[in-house]
Chain A
């Protein structure tokens, strides 16, 4: 309840209007999606490079990079998954 009492101007759930978050408009969501796209694209390119470099090392019997590269690729995928989850959450909030 806002200090000073009164309910005028408050949203129907009791929260002050200035504090309630609006769902994103379509254009706002598109901007967010573009930002996610850039991050994910860069991460996927990084994973592609990791894969080719690891394969080259494996074929040359260099085993030192195999496990670190697999871990790094997994981290990149986890980041991508997190961003995708945020995208789903954003769409779900809209509905």
Chain B
């Protein structure tokens, strides 16, 4: 066990120094020379009501209060971020509970001309999507919501791209990946299946890259 007793070479037994015993006032905090304002009742600042302590007159004390309150504010901000994270967890649990979307018929394949665009709603009403049939007859479909700020993208089959007019974002028509502008994530890809001459949407694939 470490010896906790005072070292007599540093701390004389009676606390005496060259000028005599250490007075009890040596343990008190020295008066603050930068605090000049005297409250109306004449008591020390620490004995004042909270509202007077939180709105001091002297600048040095006000600086302390301001920075202390900023620490409290940042802690509240930290809590807000935790709430945001928890909200994402809840959203994810809801999404899992909803399960995979049901398949939905879009249109007959023969009614879609090569080089043309068809709009439809999938997986739910209000979820706009676009189907593009290329000149070679291949089919691709994407959610129409731009991954930047949710504007409606416009297919440009002749350029092999989809354009977001809001902030000049461009996506590759074959992969849905962003090629220019502010979007960072690919468009949501609608999975297609041709059944008995009809084009069906059978799922949604969202990607981060």
Contact = CB atoms under 8 A, between A and B. Distances in A.
B88 A55 contact: yes
Interface residues of A, number: 62
Contacts of B6: 2-3, 16, 18-19
Contacts of B206: 59-61
A5 B13 contact: yes
A6 B22 CA distance: 13
Contacts of B205: 61
A48 B58 CA distance: 35
Interface string B173-209: 0000000000011000000000000000000011111
A89 interface: no
A54 to B, nearest CB: 6
A41 B86 CA distance: 21
B77 A44 contact: yes
Contacts of A12: 24
B21 A48 contact: no
Contacts of B68: 33, 87, 91
Given A22-B27, A22-B29, A62-B208, A84 B75 contact: yes
Contacts of A3: 5-6, 8, 13
Nearest to A24: B29
Contact of A80 (B11, B74, B84, B88): B74
Q: Which 5 A-B pairs have the closest CB atoms?
A: A9-B15, A4-B13, A60-B208, A9-B21, A47-B81
